[in-house]
A and B are shown apart, each in its own frame.
Chain A
Amino acid sequence: MSDLCLVPIGDVSPNVMEWIENAAAEWFPLPIRRLPALAVPEGAYDAKRQQYQSVEIMKLLARSAPRDASRVLGVTDVDLAIPMLSFLFGQAQFDGPVAIVSLCRLHQEFYGLPAQEKLLRERTVKETLHELGHTFGLVHCSDPNCAMSLATHIELVDSKSEKYCARCGSQLVQRFARNGGT
Chain B
Amino acid sequence: MKKHWPILVVDDEEVMCESMAAWLREDGYHVDTASNGQKAVEQARATDYAICFVDLKMPGGMDGIETMMEIHRVRPEASIIIITAYATVDTAIQAMKEGAQEYIVKPCNPQEISMLVSRILKLKKLQSENAILRKKLTRQYKHHDIITKNPRMQEILELTQDIASLRSTVLIRGESGTGKELVARAVHFSGNRAEKPFIAVSCAALTETLLESELFGYEKGAFTGAAGQAKGKFELADAGTIFLDEIGDISPKLQADLLRVLQERRFYRVGGTQEVEVDVRIIAATNKNLAEEVQQGRFREDLYYRLNVIEIKLPPLRERREDIPLLAEHFVQRISSELGKDMSGISAEALKVLIAYDWPGNVRELENVIERAIVTCRNGSLEGADFSWLQSSGGHSKNWEVPDVPLGELERRAIVAALERKHGNVKEASTALGIDRSTLYDKLKRYEISH
Q: A residues within 8 Å of B by Cβ?
A: 1, 25-30, 49, 53-55, 81-88, 91-94, 134, 139-140, 142, 150, 152-153, 163-174, 176-177, 179-182
Contact between chains at A140 and B15 (CB < 8 Å): no
**Interface of B toward A, CB cutoff 8 Å:** 2, 13, 15-16, 18-20, 22-23, 25-28, 83, 106-111, 113-114, 342, 378-380, 383, 416, 419-420, 422-427, 437, 440-441, 444-445, 448-451
- Residues A139 and B22 in contact in the complex (CB < 8 Å), given A180-B448, A180-B449: no
CB distance from A44 to the nearest CB of B (A): 11
Docked complex Cα distance between A179 and B449 (Å)? 7
By the criterion CB–CB under 8 Å, are A83 and B19 in contact? yes
Cross-chain contact B450 with A1 (CB below 8 angstroms): yes
Rounded to whole Å, the gap between the CB of A95 and the closest CB of chain B is 8
Minimum CB–CB distance for A92 against chain B, Å? 7
Name which residue of chain B comes closest to A87, CB basis: B110
Alpha-carbon distance A38/B154, docked complex (angstroms): 63
Q: A54-B19, A55-B18, A84-B83 are in contact. Are A176 and B26 (CB under 8 A)?
A: no
Chain B neighbourhood of A49, CB < 8 A: 107
Q: Is the CB of B451 within 8 A of A140?
A: no
CA gap between A91 and B425 in the complex, in Å: 23
With A30-B450, A180-B449 known as contacts, the answer to whether A166 contacts B378 (CB < 8 A) is: yes
A169 and B416 alpha carbons, distance in the complex (Å): 12
Q: How far is the CB of A134 from chain B (nearest CB, A)?
A: 5
Identify B28's interface contact among A82, A140, A164, A172, CB under 8 A.
A140
Bound-state Cα–Cα, A110 to B450, Å? 39
Complex Cα distance, B447 from A179, in Å, reads 11
Question: Given the interface contacts A83-B106, A86-B108, A88-B110, does A169 sit within 8 Å of B19 by beta carbon?
Answer: no
Which residues does chain B contribute within 8 Å of A85, judged by CB atoms? 23, 107-110, 113
Nearest to B428 among chain A residues (CB) is A26
Q: Of all chain B residues, which has the CB nearest A177?
A: B416
Q: How many angstroms from the CA of A82 to the CA of B451 in the assembled complex?
A: 34
Q: B26 near A134 (CB under 8 angstroms)?
A: yes
Chain B hits for A165, CB < 8 A: 423
Q: Is the CB of A176 within 8 A of B419?
A: yes
Closest CB of chain A to B207's CB: distance in Å?
A: 50
When chains A and B are docked, how far (Å) is the Cα of A40 from the Cα of B25?
26
Residue among A55, A92, A94 with the most chain B CB within 10 A? Answer: A94
Task: Compute how far the CA of A182 lies from the CA of B20 in the bound complex, rounded to whole angstroms.
Answer: 25
> Which residues on the A side are within 8 Å of B23 (C-beta)?
82, 84-85, 88, 91
Q: Knowing A84-B19, A92-B26 touch, does A139 contact B2 (C-beta < 8 A)?
A: yes
Other CB < 8 Å A-B pairs besides A54-B19, A173-B419, 17 of them? Answer: A25-B426, A26-B427, A27-B424, A29-B426, A30-B450, A55-B18, A84-B108, A85-B110, A139-B25, A140-B26, A140-B28, A150-B26, A164-B424, A167-B379, A169-B425, A174-B420, A176-B444
Chain B residues with CB below 8 A from A55, complex form: 15, 18-19
Known: A25-B437, A180-B451. A84 touches B20 (CB 8 A): yes
Contacts A54-B19, A139-B2, A139-B28 given; does A176 touch B449 at CB 8 Å? yes
**CB-CB < 8 A to B114: which residues of A?**
150, 152
The distance in angstroms between the C-alpha atoms of A49 and B437, with both chains bound, is: 45
* A165 to B106 alpha-carbon distance, docked (Å): 33
State A153–B13 Cα separation when bound (angstroms): 27
Closest residue of chain B to A134, judged by CB? B26
Contact (Cβ within 8 A) A152 B111? yes
CA distance A81 to B106 in the complex (A): 12
Closest Cβ neighbor of A92 among chain B residues: B26
Report the minimum CB–CB distance from B271 to chain A (whole Å).
Answer: 61
**Bound: A77/B108 CA distance, A:** 22
Bound state CA distance, A136 and B73, in angstroms?
A: 39
Evaluate whether A29 and B441 lie within 8 angstroms (CB atoms) in the complex, with A83-B19, A84-B16, A84-B23 already known.
Answer: yes
B108, A176: Cβ atoms closer than 8 Å: no
Q: 8 tightest A-B contacts by CB?
A: A169-B423, A139-B28, A169-B424, A152-B111, A82-B19, A180-B450, A172-B424, A152-B110
Residue of B nearest to A24 (CB): B426
| Alpha-carbon distance between A87 and B427 when the two chains are bound, in angstroms | 34
> How far apart are A91's CB and chain B's nearest CB, in angstroms?
7
Of A28, A150, A166, the residue contacting B426 (CB under 8 A) is A28
Contact A86 B107 (CB under 8 A): yes
Q: How far is the CA of A57 from the CA of B107 in the complex (A)?
A: 19
Contacting pair A177 B419 (CB below 8 A): yes
Residues of B within 8 A of A88 (CB): 23, 110
Chain A residues closer than 8 Å to B18, beta-carbon distance: 55
Residue in chain A with minimal CB distance to B20? A84
A28 and B19 CA atoms in complex are apart in Å by 26
Provide a sorted-by-A list of 18 A–B residue pairs whose CB atoms are within 8 angstroms: A27-B424, A82-B15, A82-B107, A83-B20, A84-B19, A91-B22, A134-B26, A152-B114, A165-B423, A167-B380, A170-B379, A170-B420, A173-B416, A173-B420, A173-B424, A174-B383, A176-B444, A180-B449
